[in-house]
Amino acid sequence: MHRVCRMLERAVEAAAAVMVAVFATVILADVVCRYWLHIPIPWVSEFTVLLFQVTAFLGSALALRRGIHFGLGLVLPLAWPRLQRPMAALVAVIVGAASLLLAVLAVRMARQTWDATYATLRISHGWAYVAVAASACLMLLFAVEAGVRSLRGAGAAGPHP
């Protein structure tokens, strides 16, 4: 499981890096076209918002995998060192349940918004929710991995080798 999660982490990291590069390039091109050439690109604002949403959700999954996602994992070990393993497992269960709920709701929202398209992009609003669902599935997988690690005594948070 660790190998699969590590491969997924690297793939998501690469995809997010490409998206940030595309985001920066498109914004730069828009600024040049709009202010220097006086030729506005109408689809840039919708495209960059969609790209930002997808990148943010992928980044959330990466942060969870690396143990740097905001949470109680920083406080609990200090407050109750002897309860670190069971608390880490409990946190992994809660994160997994929340991720599963998020995935289900995101799929529902993708279905509901699939016929609505962006005005300038001519693609479905549902794609944003597909990204949310994919990120939630990754977070669920990473939460299961963290839970298994915590039960084995390897610790639940922190970077993975």
Residue 60 contacts residue 131 (beta carbons within 8 Å): no
Per-residue pLDDT, 156 = 47
Helix/strand/coil percent split, the chain, to 5 = 80, 0, 20
Give the pLDDT means over successive 10-residue stretches in the chain (161 positions). Answer: 91 95 95 94 93 93 84 64 78 91 97 94 93 96 90 60 50
Instruction: State pTM to two decimals.
Output: 0.83
User: Shortest CA distance to 44 belongs to which of 31, 58, 59?
Assistant: 31
In angstroms, the CA 8 to CA 1 distance is 11
- List the structure tokens of 98: 């929340």
Question: DSSP secondary-structure letter at 117?
Answer: B
Which residue type does 146 have?
A
Strand partners, 117: 124
In angstroms, the CA 152 to CA 94 distance is 18
Per-residue pLDDT, 77 = 64
Per-residue pLDDT, 71 = 64
- List the structure tokens of 65: 């995998």
Per-residue pLDDT, 87 = 79
Give the relative orientation of helices 2-31 and 126-152 as an angle to the nearest 10 degrees: 150
